[in-house]
Amino acid sequence: MIDQTLIKETVDYLEKKTCLSFIESKNEYTLYNKYLRFKRSNFCGIKYEPAGTLTSPYLTKPVEIYVGPNCRSYFIIGHLMMHGLGFHHEMNRKDRDS
């Protein structure tokens, strides 16, 4: 079973530290029309459709976040959630070295 307390703490942390606000459903959290669905797994990762923008109307399939035994930290879960919402690492920005 997925540690719902850890997921909730991660969501609370992101809401407190960012301007993001999520709507909770069973094993899912919604931001605009992006659904983050948490699934138990033996690994940590995400499965999602090609990004686009956060508010694109065609992004209606849930982003599946796989929660394995090695990702029981709200830093890791938050990291995966941010990727699922379309955020990328700063080192990948095209304007990074300009």
What residue segments make up the domains of the chain, in order of their start?
4-58+68-88
Annotated binding residues, as ranges?
Answer: 79, 83, 89
Q: Read off the pLDDT band of 12 (50, 70, 90).
A: very high
- Compute CA distances 82 → 31, 68, 94, 97, whole Å: 11, 17, 19, 23
Q: What is the pLDDT of residues 67-82, one digit of tens each?
A: 998 888 889 999 998 8
Annotated binding residues for Zn(2+), as ranges?
Answer: 79, 83, 89
Q: Where are the beta strands (DSSP E) in 7-97?
A: 23-25, 28-31, 34-40, 45-47, 63-67
Does the predicted model carry a pTM greater than 0.85?
no
